[in-house]
């Protein structure tokens, strides 16, 4: 039992350090904030979704889906440094989610202000000649709805406790508060509105060389030791399987429904359960 507990603690510590960086000082970290002071109460759906290990799958799926907007992908390729410092980018994202989900309202607004300041400097020209700006409300909306779609699909498939329709709509409404502060105009308030918004963006979405390169990096070339790549591979395959069929086709990701059902989802559940077990160690 002691060996198992030690392994569990090591697994949990390794995952947390890789994804969130050093634990000390992470915005929104629970021991530092009284429950009554948090922006979102413990019973809000955003807490249930973002506090679950299914987010490891949802995060990868969100990045894949977001890459299909050529202007959003150009901004990422030109400014994010995801190849040079992928873990740093992931840790900054984790800190933002921690601050906005688990922190006080003032913590959330400070994190949002930092992101908006960064966005104000992210401008350029996509390979097709169109200008882009990260602060463009149209692009902000796409990034937002792609995240909601991916996070909800991941939780629905791999989450610890199911969400009913009212809770799924509540999650969208919770996320809308963050999105509005980030500059998204009239963010969706229900899951149906998110799906409708994705449908409206569909004519603008396409696989591009930059999107294909990002997908290869996320799915096949992660900067990880060989020993842990199978674990990441389970998460990545589970993430790809969450994408709509048209998105997989645009990204040139094979779609094998039978393999997804028989192999990918069970493997994804195993990996997510193992991570959940590890990070819940006392």
Contact predicate 18/87, CB 8 Å: yes
Of 178, 172, 138, which Cα lies nearest the Cα of 153?
172
Question: What pLDDT does 105 receive?
Answer: 94
260 vs 265: CA distance, rounded Å: 6
The number of domains in the chain is 1
Q: For residues 230 and 1, which has the higher predicted lDDT (pLDDT)?
A: 230
- What is the arithmetic mean of pLDDT over 106-110? 95
The pLDDT > 90 percentage for the chain reads 63
Q: Please, what is the Cα angle at 92 between 144 and 228, to 5 degrees?
A: 100
Domain of residue 102, residue span: 2-279
Computed over every residue of the chain, the mean pLDDT equals 86
Query: Closest Cα partner for 140 from 197, 89, 220, 212?
Result: 197
- What is the reported pLDDT for 133? 98
Is the pLDDT at 222 greater than 90? The verdict is no
Q: Which of 232, 266, 236 is nearest to 158 (CA)?
A: 266
Q: Which residue has the tokens 């987010």?
A: 55
Residue 20 pLDDT > 60 = no
Where does the pLDDT of residue 280 fall: very low under 50, low under 70, confident under 90, or very high at 90 and above? low
Q: pLDDT higher for 255 or 165?
A: 165
Provide the pLDDT for residue 51: 92
CA distance 263 to 248: 18
Question: Is residue 101 predicted with pLDDT exceeding 80?
Answer: yes
Q: What is the pLDDT of residue 6?
A: 55
pLDDT band of 28, cuts 50, 70, 90: very low
Q: What is the pLDDT of residue 45?
A: 97
């Amino acid at each position: 039992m002691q060996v198992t507990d030690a392994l569990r603690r090591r697994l949990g510590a390794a995952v947390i350090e890789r994804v969130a960086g050093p634990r000390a000082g992470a915005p929104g970290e629970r021991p530092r904030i009284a429950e009554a002071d948090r922006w979102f109460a413990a019973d809000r759906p955003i807490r249930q979704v973002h506090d679950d290990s299914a987010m490891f799958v949802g995060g990868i799926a969100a990045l894949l889906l977001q890459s299909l907007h050529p202007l959003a992908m150009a901004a990422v390729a030109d400014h994010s440094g995801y190849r040079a410092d992928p873990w740093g980018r992931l840790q900054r994202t984790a800190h933002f989610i921690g601050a906005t989900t688990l922190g006080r309202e003032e913590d959330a607004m400070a994190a949002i202000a930092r992101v908006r300041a960064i966005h104000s400097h992210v401008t350029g020209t996509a390979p097709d000649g169109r200008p882009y700006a990260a602060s463009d409300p149209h692009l902000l909306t796409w990034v937002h709805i792609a995240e909601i779609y991916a996070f909800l699909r991941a939780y629905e498939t791999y989450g610890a406790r199911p969400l009913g329709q009212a809770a799924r709509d509540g999650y969208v409404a919770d996320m809308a508060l963050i999105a509005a502060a980030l500059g998204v105009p009239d963010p969706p308030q229900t899951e149906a509105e998110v799906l409708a918004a994705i449908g409206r963006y569909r004519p603008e979405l396409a696989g591009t060389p930059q999107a294909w390169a990002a997908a290869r990096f996320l799915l096949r070339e992660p900067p990880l030791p060989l020993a842990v790549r199978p674990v990441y591979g389970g998460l990545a395959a589970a993430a790809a399987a969450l994408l709509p069929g048209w998105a997989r086709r645009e990204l040139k990701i094979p779609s094998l429904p039978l393999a997804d059902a028989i192999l990918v989802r069970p493997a994804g559940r195993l990996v997510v359960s193992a991570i959940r077990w590890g990070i819940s160690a006392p």
